Amino acid sequence: MNKSYAEQFYYLMKLGRVFELRAKEEYMKGNIGGFLHLAIGEEAVHVGAVLGFGKGDIFVHYREHVYALARGMEPKNVMAELFGKVTGVSKGKGGSMHLYDPKFNFYGGNAIVGAHLPHAVGTAYARKYLGDTTGVLAAFGDGATNSGNFFEAINLAATWKVPVLFLCENNYYAIGTRIDRASPFTDLYIKAKEYMPVKQVDGMDVFAVFEAVREAKEYIETEGKPYFIEALTYRYEPHSMSDTGDYRSPRELKIAKERDPIEHLKRVGIERGLLTEEYINFVDNKVEQIVEEAVRFALESPEPGEEELYNDVFCEVCTDVIS
């Protein structure tokens, strides 16, 4: 592990955390509407996976701000999207759950649990067909592993032999239902092990996630076959802003927070000489500025014009329509 990676981890995880805390505050002020799902506590999985995966297409779920930021999307454009402004990554038409940018091979942001898994398989098929062996990353939560989408997708990926990395973020809760109330076993890699190689990692340890994803990526690209990783993690916040989160005890929350991924990274990074207090302080100040700037940008950005209502429903050159 080199210094540069550790520094990137810290920058992106801290950016993600500060960004999301600020988003929560802006939501409470009424600047952000709808559903806001925060990934606070899960940053190690999101940042570790994106950096470990590197080049390739990424399909994720609706708790995706940190994925998008780690992938390189500008915080101000992501914040503007949350604010529903035209400068947002999806012109203010997608919102928090639908961040897309093909420039970064980033395809959402899907608000239907597990629905993006077949997309990832299809894209992997297409890339392979067109002679590109780069793998595809599909991240999803524990809840998705109980859906038909999941089983259809792993079956197809294994049958068609396409390079998809299935990354399950097991945070133990599907909204308010704990995993053991929805699945016969809580080690979710079991569900995929007859189809593909599987691995379980500590999702609060960004180094572990990074290494596991990097190895899996190498496997899927050399073998041209899928791979399954289960990352054990925890979300500190309720499912969304509308959720009280009272199905979890304060004690459970306290224990989880003691294993905070950012604190863990700081400690291990300094221990191993990969991070310095100086760098950490620099980043802490820097991300505050970046997020402050992102909010200012979002606030000052215009709303989409009325003409935007009908734009992008269909592709423009295809709308030779009489009606």
Backbone torsions φ then ψ of 58, nearest 5 degrees:
-125, 130
**82 counts as binding other proteins under rule CB under 8 A:** no
* In the complex, least distance from residue 292 CB atom to other proteins, rounded to whole angstroms: 13
Tell me: does residue 302 bind other proteins (CB under 8 A).
Answer: no
Q: Which of 90, 146, 170, 183 binds other proteins (CB under 8 A)?
A: 90
Summarize the chain as % helix, strand, coil (round to 5).
Answer: 50, 10, 35
Query: According to the binding rule CB under 8 A, does residue 318 interact with other proteins?
Result: yes
Torsion of CA 190, 193, 195, 198, to 10 degrees: 120
Measured N-to-C along each axis, helices 206-223 and 3-28 cross at an angle, to the nearest 10 degrees, of 110
CA 10-207-127 angle, to 5 degrees, is 95
Residue 53 or 125: the one with the smaller Cβ distance to other proteins is 125
Size, binding site for other proteins by CB under 8 A: 66
Region near other proteins per CB under 8 A, out of 97-105, 182-190, 194-202, 294-302: 97-105
d(CA 32, CA 27): 4
- Write the binding mask 142 to 181 for other proteins: x where contact by CB under 8 A, - elsewhere: ------xx--xx-xx--xx---------------------
Stretch of 68-76, 212-220, 226-234, 310-318 lying at the interface with other proteins (CB under 8 A): 310-318
Nearest alpha carbon to residue 168 among 194, 199, 197: 199
Residue 119 or residue 264: which is nearer to other proteins going by CB?
Answer: 119
Q: How far is the CB of 3 from other proteins (least distance, A)?
A: 30
Q: Which of 11, 62, 125, 234 is close enough to bind other proteins by CB under 8 A?
A: 125
Which of 3, 5, 8, 34 binds other proteins (CB under 8 A)? It is 34
Closest CB 200 distance from other proteins, rounded Å: 26
The token pair at 13 is 């995880």
For other proteins, the closer CB: 152 or 187: 152
CA atoms of 53 and 49, how far apart (whole Å): 6
Minimum Å distance from CB 96 to other proteins?
A: 11
In angstroms, the CA 278 to CA 317 distance is 54
Exposed e or buried b for every residue in 117-142, given b needs 16+ CB within 10 A?
bbbbbbbbbebbeeeeebbbbbbbbb
Q: Which residues pair with 60 in a beta bridge?
A: 109
Per CB under 8 A, the list member of 5, 8, 74, 93 interacting with other proteins is 93
Give dist(CA 72, CA 318) in Å, integer: 32
Separation between Cα atoms, residue 76 and residue 225, nearest integer Å: 37
Residue 313 within binding range of other proteins, rule CB under 8 A: yes
Of these, 6, 241, 275, 280, which contacts other proteins (CB under 8 A)?
Answer: 241
Contact predicate 120/59, CB 8 Å: yes
**Per CB under 8 A, does 88 bind other proteins?**
yes
Q: What does the alpha-carbon distance between residue 172 and residue 232 come to, in Å, rounded to a whole number?
A: 8
Spacing of C-alpha 39 from chain mean position? 8
C-beta of 79: minimal distance to other proteins in Å? 15
- Work out whether 285 is an interface residue with other proteins (CB under 8 A): no
Binding site residues, other proteins, CB under 8 A: 21, 25, 27-30, 33-35, 57, 59, 88-94, 98, 100-102, 107-112, 115, 117-127, 129-130, 148-149, 152-153, 155-156, 159-160, 240-242, 244, 246, 311-315, 317-318, 320-323
